């Protein structure tokens, strides 16, 4: 979803080599020698330097082929009757507790595949496997080209924070500072939701 950011950074600073690790596993920045990480949701490790860069909204999406086959749910509880593509994070499968016209509602959903990679969830959903709960920014281009459709648009998971985290260092290498400052400036422009001031 943010690949274009790193393309732009590499063109701006071709002398800097970026090693990009894409995983939903919670990495240990110090032990694994990672300079920066983009994390969504609640932060566990208070020893890291964290800057909130944006707040995103997650919505329900499905492929037109799935909706033609199974029909679109008309009410939130009907999701329990549908095949859903579930995203498993480091803390487990994301619960579907969404804000809607009647406040926050919860539904137990199941599906044929649980994936720990959000892009895999997106691809399976585009292929018509089921309904998925995904950040709007992740599926923006799929919606634009008609590969995905918003389902029950009155419901959303709002306020999912994105943080740029790093190890506290007295002297930050110039290459890391350049990438950090670039991401802090560019990520809020690209993520859905309300951009937050750099803290």
- Lowest-confidence region among 6-10, 42-46, 94-98: 42-46
Q: What is the per-residue pLDDT for 196?
A: 36
Residue 192 CA to residue 54 CA, distance in Å, equals 8
Q: Which helix (H) or strand (E) holds 194?
A: strand 194-195
Provide the pLDDT for residue 24: 66
Structure tokens at 31: 């032990």
State residue 101's pLDDT score: 94
What band does 27 get if pLDDT is binned at 50, 70 and 90? confident
pTM: 0.71
Per-residue model confidence (pLDDT) at position 95: 77
Select the highest-mean-pLDDT range: 38-52, 59-73, 159-173, 175-189. 59-73
Q: What is the pLDDT of residues 71-102, one digit of tens each?
A: 999 999 999 999 999 998 766 777 799 999 99
Mean pLDDT of all residues in the chain? 86
Q: Which domains does the chain have, with CATH numbers?
A: 3-55+160-195 (3.40.190.10), 56-158 (3.40.190.290)
Task: Taking the CA atoms of 107, 108, 114 and 117 in sequence, report the sign of the dihedral they define.
Answer: positive
Among 87, 80, 79, which residue's Cα sits nearest to residue 114? Answer: 87
Of 138, 147, 87, 134, which Cα lies nearest the Cα of 111? Answer: 87
Which pLDDT belongs to residue 193? Answer: 45
What is the predicted pLDDT for the residue at 122? Answer: 94
What percentage of the chain has pLDDT greater than the value 90?
A: 50
Angle at 117 between CA 47 and CA 103, to 5 degrees: 80
**19-28, 53-62, 125-134 — which one is most confidently predicted on average?**
125-134
């Amino acid at each position: 979803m943010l690949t274009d950011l790193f393309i732009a950074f590499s063109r701006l600073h071709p002398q800097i080599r970026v090693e990009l690790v894409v995983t939903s596993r919670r990495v240990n920045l110090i032990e694994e020698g990672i300079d920066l990480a983009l994390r969504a949701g609640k932060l566990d490790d208070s020893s890291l330097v964290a800057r909130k860069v944006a707040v995103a909204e997650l919505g329900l999406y499905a492929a037109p082929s799935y909706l033609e086959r199974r029909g679109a749910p008309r009410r939130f509880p009907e999701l329990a009757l549908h095949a859903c593509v579930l995203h498993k994070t480091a803390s487990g499968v994301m619960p579907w507790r969404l804000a809607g016209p009647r406040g926050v509602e919860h539904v137990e959903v199941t599906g044929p595949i649980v994936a720990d990679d959000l892009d895999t969830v997106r691809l399976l959903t585009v292929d018509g496997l089921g309904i998925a709960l995904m950040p709007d920014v992740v599926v923006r281009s799929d919606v634009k080209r008609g590969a995905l459709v918003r389902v029950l648009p009155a419901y959303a998971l709002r306020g999912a924070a994105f943080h740029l985290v790093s190890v506290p260092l007295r002297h930050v290498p110039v290459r890391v500072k350049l990438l950090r400052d670039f991401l802090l400036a560019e990520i809020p422009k690209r993520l859905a939701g309300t951009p937050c001031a750099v803290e």
